[in-house]
Amino acid sequence: MTARNLLVELFVEELPPKALPHLGRAFASGLSAALRQQGLLLESSVVTPYASPRRLGAHVAQVLPRAADRASSIKLMPASVGLDASGAPTPALRKKLAALGLPEQAAERVRAEGQGKACTLFIDTVVPGVALPEGLQRALDDALAELPIPKLMSYQLGDGWSTVRFVRPAHGLLALHGADVVPVRALGLQAGRSTHGHRFEAAEDPIELAHADDYETALLQRGGVVAGFERRREAIVAQLEQAARELGDGLRPLHDEALLDEVCALVEKPRVLTCRFDAEYLEVPQECLILTMKANQKYFPLLDAQGRLSNRFLVVSNIDPADASAVIQGNERVVRPRLADARFFFDQDRKQSLEQRVPGLERVVYHARLGTQAQRMQRVRTIAAELARRADPALVADVERAATLAKTDLLTEMVGEFPELQGIMGRYYALHDGLGRDIAEAIEDHYRPRFAGDALPRGMVGLCLALADKLETLCGLWGIGERPSGDKDPFALRRHALGIVRMLMERPRESRVWPLDELLGAAAAAFRGIDAFQDPSQAVAEFVFERMANLLREQGYSAQEIDAVLVLRPQWLGDVVARLDAVRAFAALPEAQALAAANKRVANILKKSATSAGTGLSQELLREPAEQALARSLHEVLPRAQAAHARGDHAAALQCLAALKTPVDEFFDHVMVNADDAALRANRLALLDQLQQAMRQVADLSRLAA
């Protein structure tokens, strides 16, 4: 059997642009996976996905016309049911064989396995390989059923009776195995060898394909369509960069992966054109202009070398006219009223100060059980002021002022039109009101970090406010039962917890005055008097450590290292990375594994002992030379380790412990901990308790035991 290449294309009405990349990949991978599962692909087979606004396709190399036959052992029934007393086939066995399509003589090939009641009948047979039409039909049905379709729609077929559900109405199905049409059906369509090109740029329509391998070239040359999503995307990027270079002045197109994907999903034959708008609009904050061009028009703004917006922008057109002036003028005309709206909003908003908007927060409901935005603002201000008092009392006034005004830009026209600008516009309006840079930046930064990898607040005022805002959200919503579960997190509490972790970890010098438990306690205290609220501090602390563990794993630390440090629940999170690095360095020491194993043994002894370790160690009760040696070593090592730990040199603190290996080994070799004498037993437990404390200052070293 000769393998040939297979092409399948579903031609549809315009697909949702934001979903197109996922749909294209899922269709191609689902199709090839189902074919491979049925044995229709050679090992060397590769799949090439195609996705444009009006098509989903896949080119699958090395597809067999029929899968190879395969041997199979079929379980039939218990021997007691299939065979009579003389060992002859029963009617039940004959009926089973007939149901499998096997002749009556096949009973001679039935074999038994097992003994007694467990004896079971099997038959070895050869299962014919599936033919490509049948296998492709099954694969096509499965691939379409498993597409990640955001929303299905129903439409009627041409017969006026049948109803089909799909993401968009489908109008054509193409299936070629080499030069041959594969007779499959989908969504009421019968497969053929024709497709359609660009609505306006196609040289012919429909386009008849002679071979599966002609698809991409024929669509480009005769249909005016770049079928591959990635190839089309690369062409757009190259044209954007070329257009920017031709303009000079160090201009570059805005880098936005999501915008690029969406534009790529809107065009079949991209051509980048350069447009401009009146320079007077540059008086409006550039974030507003960029957002309106991106969100409403799908344009690519051009920035200079300093990141400042220019009055020129790039458009990705879906047509390629000889004279593009009409297209350019049309886009320039369309963007003008959008920019005028942004300028109007900006001018109107500045007529009222942020301070004047504060009473309006009383009219905005934050949560039915947690009150209005005004009440939330009061809680955030209380928490932020407490953080500022701990860090630098001179900051309290600015922190309280920033907290009071942080949410007022939610009441502005600009943020009402573009919610993504909350905080950003607050900064501009605060500067306009003469509030000073620290307060203005804090109003913008209190939302940071907004996402993974986002920048942290720039100053201490912003850091206090950002922490307070996230603590209030996390504790408040958790305290009324709005907790994440599974993949559901409607209030983004995981993101808020991760933001708290990052601020405390990545700003260690500033965050030293903020132990985690005290932060959560201050946040919970702000909710006193709210009936629905129950203090969630302990549960939220565990949640925060879980988020921290996930972040540290992403940074390359092992689960064992993370567990050793976080099991101690360190309250200063800015110290955790230093502890982890110290643990990693300690684990490389020759003595590490022996000490970790000993520490694990100590932990088990102390945990299981019915006798208390007591509060002190009696030197007089140290009878054995090995326990005396261990006590002397602890007396020498512990002060050095504690001093190193106190000054933050965790690596040195752990390295001091290496000197304990020999006395610890000698102790366990020669000393009976659970002595019959209760006083001796209690004293030895106290000695082990001191040993455990020494080895748990930086991390729980027992967690490193193999």
pLDDT score, position 362: 96
Query: pLDDT band at residue 106, thresholds of 50, 70 and 90?
Result: confident
Examine the fold and report which residue of 223, 247, 270 is the final residue of a domain before the chain moves on: 223
Amino acid sitting at position 261 = D
Examine the fold and report which residue of 182, 201, 223 is the final residue of a domain before the chain moves on: 223
pLDDT score, position 620: 80
pLDDT at 101 over 90: no
pLDDT score, position 358: 97
Structural domain contains residue 27: yes
Q: Do 525 and 667 belong to one domain?
A: no
- Nearest-angstrom CA–CA distance, 424 and 457: 13
Q: Do 217 and 286 belong to one domain?
A: no
Query: What's the first-to-final CA gap in the chain, in angstroms?
Result: 54
Q: Do 343 and 491 belong to one domain?
A: no
Structural domain contains residue 571: no
Cis peptide before 484 (omega within 30 of 0): no
Strand partners, 56: 10, 51
Q: Do 311 and 345 belong to one domain?
A: yes
What count of residues does the chain have? 706
Distances (CA, A) of 301 to 7, 313, 419: 38, 4, 20
pLDDT score, position 615: 58
Segment holding 293, helix H or strand E: none
Q: Do 595 and 529 belong to one domain?
A: no
Amino acid sitting at position 436 = G
Helix (H, G, I), strand (E, B) or coil at 486: coil
3-state secondary structure 12-32: ECCCCCCCHHHHHHHHHHHHH
Q: What's the pTM value of the predicted model, to 2 decimals?
A: 0.81
pLDDT at 613 over 60: no
Q: For residue 122, is it left (φ>0), alpha (ψ between -120 and 50) or beta?
A: beta
CATH number of the domain encompassing residue 18: 3.30.70
Q: Do 608 and 698 belong to one domain?
A: yes
pLDDT at 211 over 80: yes
Question: What does the DSSP assignment read for 601-634?
Answer: HHHHHHHH-SS---S---GGG--SHHHHHHHHHH
- Please provide the average confidence, as pLDDT, over all residues in the chain: 92
Q: For residue 484, is it left (φ>0), alpha (ψ between -120 and 50) or beta?
A: beta
pLDDT at 689 over 80: yes
List of residues 6+ apart from 539 with CB closer than 8 A: 478
pLDDT score, position 71: 79
- Nearest-angstrom CA–CA distance, 137 and 139: 5
> What pLDDT, in 10s, does the model give residues 178-201?
999 999 999 999 999 999 999 998
pLDDT at 172 over 90: yes
Strand partners, 274: 314
pLDDT score, position 1: 66
Q: Do 528 and 542 belong to one domain?
A: yes
pLDDT score, position 142: 94
- Nearest-angstrom CA–CA distance, 274 and 249: 14
pLDDT score, position 653: 87
Structural domain contains residue 562: no
DSSP state of 555: T
Q: Do 256 and 320 belong to one domain?
A: yes
Examine the fold and report which residue of 203, 223, 243 is the final residue of a domain before the chain moves on: 223
Amino acid sitting at position 596 = A
Q: Do 39 and 100 belong to one domain?
A: no
pLDDT at 614 over 60: no
Closest-CA residue to 598 (of 696, 488, 470, 464): 696
pLDDT at 226 over 70: yes
Query: pLDDT band at residue 69, thresholds of 50, 70 and 90?
Result: confident
> What pLDDT, in 10s, does the model give residues 523-556?
999 999 898 899 999 999 999 999 999 999 999 9
pLDDT at 610 over 70: no
pLDDT score, position 136: 94
Structural domain contains residue 75: yes
List of residues 6+ apart from 387 with CB closer than 8 A: 399, 464, 467, 468, 514, 519, 522
Q: Do 253 and 387 belong to one domain?
A: no
Q: Do 77 and 57 belong to one domain?
A: no
Top-confidence residue, 634 or 611: 634
pLDDT at 611 over 60: no
- Nearest-angstrom CA–CA distance, 84 and 97: 16
pLDDT score, position 706: 66
Closest-CA residue to 343 (of 289, 411, 424): 289
> What's the number of CA atoms in the CB half-sphere (13 Å) around residue 662?
6
- Print the domain residue range for 426: 355-556
Structural domain contains residue 170: yes
Structural domain contains residue 275: yes
pLDDT at 612 over 70: no
Percent with pLDDT over 70 in the chain: 99
Structural domain contains residue 696: yes
pLDDT score, position 605: 82
Closest-CA residue to 88 (of 108, 103, 106): 108
Least confident residue range of 53-62, 135-144, 363-372, 645-654 = 645-654
CATH number of the domain encompassing residue 691: 1.10.730.10
Give me the phi and psi of 195, to 5 degrees please.
-140, -175
Closest-CA residue to 189 (of 172, 207, 203): 172
Query: pLDDT band at residue 623, thresholds of 50, 70 and 90?
Result: confident
> What pLDDT, in 10s, does the model give residues 379-437?
999 999 999 999 999 999 999 999 999 999 999 999 999 999 999 999 999 999 999 99
> What pLDDT, in 10s, does the model give residues 295-350?
889 999 999 999 999 999 999 999 988 899 999 999 999 999 999 999 999 999 99
> What's the number of CA atoms in the CB half-sphere (13 Å) around residue 143?
32
Residue 144 structure tokens:
């379409």
Structural domain contains residue 567: no
pLDDT score, position 194: 95
Q: Do 338 and 463 belong to one domain?
A: no
pLDDT score, position 169: 93
The tally of domains found in the chain comes to: 5
Name residue, tokens 């036959």: 69
- Nearest-angstrom CA–CA distance, 258 and 685: 62
Helix (H, G, I), strand (E, B) or coil at 488: strand
Name residue, tokens 């959560």: 520
Q: Mean of the pLDDT values across residues 19-48?
A: 94
